[in-house]
Amino acid sequence: MSRQPFSDFLATKDEAIHAQLIAIDKAIVKAVPGIDAAIKWKQYMYSFDSKWMAPLCMIDTTKKGIALRFLAGSEMADPLGVLRFGASDMGTWDIPLDSKVKASDITSYVKAALASSKSNS
């Protein structure tokens, strides 16, 4: 396991959203203990065997909120109807800065991404 400290990522972000970012990171790690993580392309990415071109998921921020991205988003179930799709199969869960998301929901989505990635291996 290779894990760049999450504090390195937090240092690049507004302190007002640190608690939200920490909660999301903890939910991801709970879903997939031992996953590799690092800052790549200004995002905090989670991958197996440091395969940064094919991450399981990643955290990014915008002025409006936090973007939790899933590379295999189009292959995942979306029971909450939160995934947004652009020009690719990547699904993005846009989390507004003032919202409270249940850690269990994030963990469920990460586990779904894991199941999708395993079925494509």
In a domain, 1, yes or no: no
Residue 99 structural domain: 6-119
Percent of the chain with pLDDT strictly greater than 90: 79
- Average pLDDT value for residue range 109-117: 93
Given this model, what pLDDT does residue 121 score?
56
In a domain, 89, yes or no: yes
In a domain, 25, yes or no: yes
Return mean pLDDT, the chain.
93
In a domain, 107, yes or no: yes
What CATH number should be reported for the domain holding residue 36? 3.90.1150.200
In a domain, 78, yes or no: yes
pLDDT by residue (tens digit) across 65-111? 999 999 989 999 999 999 999 878 899 999 999 888 999 999 999 99
In a domain, 85, yes or no: yes
Nearest to 68 by CA among 105, 36, 115, 116: 105
* Sheet architecture: strand order including 83-85: 36-40, 43-47, 57-61, 65-70, 91-96, 83-85
Percentages of the chain per state (helix, strand, coil), in multiples of 5: 35, 25, 40
Give the number of domains in the chain.
Answer: 1
At residue 31, does pLDDT exceed 80? yes
In a domain, 53, yes or no: yes
Identify the band that residue 18 occupies on the pLDDT scale cut at 50, 70 and 90: very high
The first and second tokens of residue 35, run together, are 């996953």
In a domain, 79, yes or no: yes
